[in-house]
């Protein structure tokens, strides 16, 4: 799969590990930066990864900042993106199965590298179950459409 990856300056070392891990598992990585510890702003990278996923250029995305919170909020501003911030594998797996999440966010100040890669593997292993969850995810998409239309939801 083609997977977009992005981070701020706090997440860039963890991004290296994530990129290497994804490549070792046969995925193609679109690395959208940042590439150093020089201070920058997480909304830039959350948006870039989210747009790569929402456009269909990438099937999934991974975003990293200090806590995973700021960059997940940024990603979730892009219609069509359902980003989840995780610090354990169970939520990563269930978010794929039940919520059809398409962007994983993690905090480089929260999880160590080994745990981050376990969370990533759980996220990749999950497949949307559809069924009763489909209507709920469709409701999320309706919220996106209402926001894009500038209407009430
Ligand atoms: C940067 O200091 C930090 O605020 C950022 O990496 C992230 O944790 C924000 O949610």
Judge whether residue 104 has pLDDT over 80: yes
Residue 11 alpha carbon, nearest atom of ligand 1: 6
What is the best residue among 34, 70, 76 to mutate for testing ligand 1's pocket, by most ligand atoms within 8 Å of CB? 70
Q: Dihedral of the CA atoms 38, 39, 41, 46 (nearest 10)?
A: 40
Query: In this predicted model, which residue has the larger pLDDT, 152 or 100?
Result: 100
Question: Looking at residue 153, what is its pLDDT?
Answer: 46
Q: Dihedral of the CA atoms 84, 85, 88, 93 (nearest 10)?
A: 10
Q: Which residues contact 132 (CB under 8 A, 6 or more apart)?
A: none
Question: Looking at residue 10, what is its pLDDT?
Answer: 98
Judge whether residue 152 has pLDDT over 80: no
CA-nearest of 119, 103, 95 to 55 is: 103
- Could you give the angle at which helices 12-24 and 113-125 cross, rounded to 10 degrees? 50
The CA 101 to ligand 1 mean position distance, Å, reads 22
Three-state DSSP state, 29 = strand
Judge whether residue 151 has pLDDT over 90: no
Average pLDDT, the chain: 97
The CA 128 to ligand 1 mean position distance, Å, reads 30
Give 15-49 pLDDT, tens digit per residue. Answer: 999 999 999 999 999 999 999 999 999 999 999 99
Percent of the chain scoring above 90 in pLDDT: 96
Q: Does ligand 1 come within 6 angstroms of the Cβ of 66? A: yes
Q: Whose CA is nearest to atom 6 of ligand 1?
A: 66
Neighbours of 61 (CB within 10 A): 28
Task: Give the DSSP H or E segment for 25.
Answer: none
Q: Does ligand 1 come within 6 angstroms of the Cβ of 106? A: no
Q: Does ligand 1 come within 6 angstroms of the Cβ of 105? A: no
């Amino acid at each position: 799969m083609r997977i977009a990856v992005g981070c701020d300056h706090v997440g860039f070392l963890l991004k290296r590990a994530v990129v290497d891990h994804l490549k070792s598992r046969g995925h193609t990585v679109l690395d959208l930066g940042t590439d150093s510890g020089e201070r920058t702003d997480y909304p830039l990278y959350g948006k870039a990864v989210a747009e790569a996923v929402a456009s269909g250029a990438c099937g999934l995305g991974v975003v990293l900042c200090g806590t995973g919170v700021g960059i997940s909020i940024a990603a979730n501003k892009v219609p069509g993106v359902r980003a989840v911030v995780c610090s354990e594998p169970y939520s990563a797996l269930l978010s794929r199965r039940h919520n059809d999440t398409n962007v994983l966010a993690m905090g480089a100040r929260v999880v160590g590298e080994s745990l981050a890669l376990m969370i990533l593997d759980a996220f990749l292993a999950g497949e949307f179950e559809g069924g009763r969850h489909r209507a709920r995810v469709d409701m999320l998409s309706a919220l996106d459409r209402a926001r894009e239309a500038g209407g009430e939801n």
